[in-house]
Amino acid sequence: MNAISADLALAPLGAGDLIDRAVRLYRRHFFTLIRISAPPVLVSALGWTIDTIAGREISSAGSSLSVLWYFLWLMLGMVIILAGALFSLIVMAGATRNLVAHLLSNEPVTFRTTYLAVKSRFGPLLGASLLVGVWLTFSAFVGLMAFTFVWAIIGTVVMIGSRISPWLATIGVIIAVVSGVVFALIVFFLLAGRMAYVPQAMLVEGKTVFSAIGRSFSLASGNVKRLMAMTLFTLFATYSALVVLIIPLVWYGWLNGLNLSPFGGRESPAWFSIGYQVILQCSHILLAPIWMLGLSLLYVDERVRHEGYDIELMAARQLPEMPTLPGVVSPFAPALVTGRAPKFVAPLPRPQQTDTSLQLS
């Protein structure tokens, strides 16, 4: 088995294997991945900074005109945050294409290759990202309804139990909250996961927006547990990094007499709020590549599970490109399309071998 296969063995991945593979790739291409993921996060950071300043000033505005002015700035910040989130989805598609090219011919993972892939279909990717955003909002709403449903059922039992014993009421509230959150997360990821592979299908397989949505729905069966594990791991790692990075800011504030207790009764100064947002976005820049790599590997893994994609990739590495014949349409899609994305240069074909000596490993 060659070096590529040894580094990125193509086999069905569990949740732990998926996270482990993403972390190993992250360590290997750390600085390149930071450069790739930084632009979308910086866009979102600008929006959060604007919202932080406008949100503080709107409460102390002295006139209706000032309130309107800061409200408009608040709306602008929200639009910029949304633009950064959409930009992240678009960049994720380019990163997936770069990863698949890396699997095929050990093409280096670079900032330029990723953003050239994004540039090649930016308009369709933007439209697809908007549809994904709408679907995620709908999924969050359904998840909230699921939480409310569970809370209503268990809450009724809690009210009955509270007449018997206060301890039963307390235990019932805890059970209601935990059960509601778990059920809501399952419902959310069950719906949201259906659109997880839309950008990847567009750049790796060359599909149009709506055909990519159908493709994502067909691939996304059974990915709820792994998607939940990847999300929870990324959130935990992000806020763990935030805690480490924010300690110097907290020390500086404490040395300058800042009361950081939630019962202090005073609003934190502007420099602390802005500094907190900057550090939060820095933690997102550090951890966003893991989420990006995780979804890319999850897409490849779904194709390995459903379609034998590992065989396609090994064949593409070992054999010359299939010739195009007039009037003949092959039922097999290439491992990486070249028609709607930056030209992929396949490795040079090996010398012709006999059937007894041909190997795919």
pLDDT tens-digit profile of 310-337?
Answer: 666 666 666 666 556 565 444 455 556 6
Which residue, among 110, 118, 104, has the nearest Cα to 334 in the 3D structure? 104
Residue 37 backbone dihedrals phi, psi, to 5 degrees = -85, -15
Per-residue model confidence (pLDDT) at position 76: 92
108 is written with which tokens? 């280096």
Q: Which helix (H) or strand (E) holds 247?
A: helix 224-255
pLDDT (0 to 100) of residue 327: 55
Q: Evaluate if residue 301 carries a pLDDT over 50.
A: yes
On the CB side of 340, how many CA atoms lie within 13 Å of its CA?
18
CA distance 199 to 97: 10
pLDDT for the residue numbered 99: 78
Q: In the block, which residue shows the tokens 């930071």? A: 34
pLDDT single digits (tens) 80-129: 988 888 888 888 778 878 877 776 667 788 888 888 888 888 888 888 88
**If pLDDT is split at 50, 70 and 90, which confidence band does 351 have?**
very low
Is residue 249 a contact partner of residue 275, using CB atoms and an 8 Å limit? yes
Residue 353 has pLDDT above 70, yes or no: no
Q: Give residue 343's pLDDT.
A: 43
- Better-scored residue on pLDDT, 349 or 48: 48
Give the 3-state secondary structure of residue 251.
helix
Of the ranges 164-173, 243-252, 330-339, which one carries the lowest mean pLDDT score?
330-339
> What is the tens place of the pLDDT at every residue in 171-210?
777 777 888 888 888 888 888 888 888 888 888 777 888 8
Please state, for a pLDDT cut of 70, what percent of the chain lies above it: 73
| Rg over CA atoms, the chain | 25
Global pTM value: 0.70
Per-residue confidence (pLDDT) for residue 141, from 0 to 100: 93
Which residue is listed with tokens 């960049």? 91
- Which amino acid does the sequence have at 55? G
Per-residue pLDDT, 329 = 47
Pair 86, 43: CB distance under 8 Å: no
Provide the pLDDT for residue 7. Answer: 44
Residue % of the chain over a pLDDT of 90: 3
Measured from the Cβ of residue 298, the count of other Cβ atoms closer than 10 Å reads 25
The angle formed by the CA atoms of residues 275, 277 and 283, to the nearest 5 degrees, is: 105
Average pLDDT, the chain: 75
DSSP string, 36-104: HHHHHHHHHHHHHHHHHHHHHHHTT-SSHHHHHHHHHHHHHHHHHHHHHHHHHHHHHHHHHHHHHHHHH
pLDDT at 348 over 60: no
Residues 212, 129 contacting (CB under 8 angstroms): no
Give CA torsion, residues 175, 229, 44, 275, to 10 deg: 70
**Long-range contacts of 221-228, Cβ-Cβ distance < 8 Å, separation of 24 or more:** 223/193, 223/196, 223/298, 223/302, 224/186, 224/189, 224/190, 224/193, 225/15, 226/13, 226/14, 226/15, 226/18, 226/298, 227/189, 227/192, 227/193, 227/196, 227/298, 228/185, 228/186, 228/189
Query: What whole-number distance in Å separates Cα of residue 314 and Cα of residue 308?
Result: 10
pLDDT digits (tens, 9 = 90+) for 17-65: 777 888 888 888 888 888 888 888 888 888 888 888 888 778 777 777 8
The answer to whether the Cα torsion of 7, 8, 12, 18 is positive or negative is positive
DSSP-based three-state secondary structure for 327? coil
**pLDDT in the model for residue 287:** 77
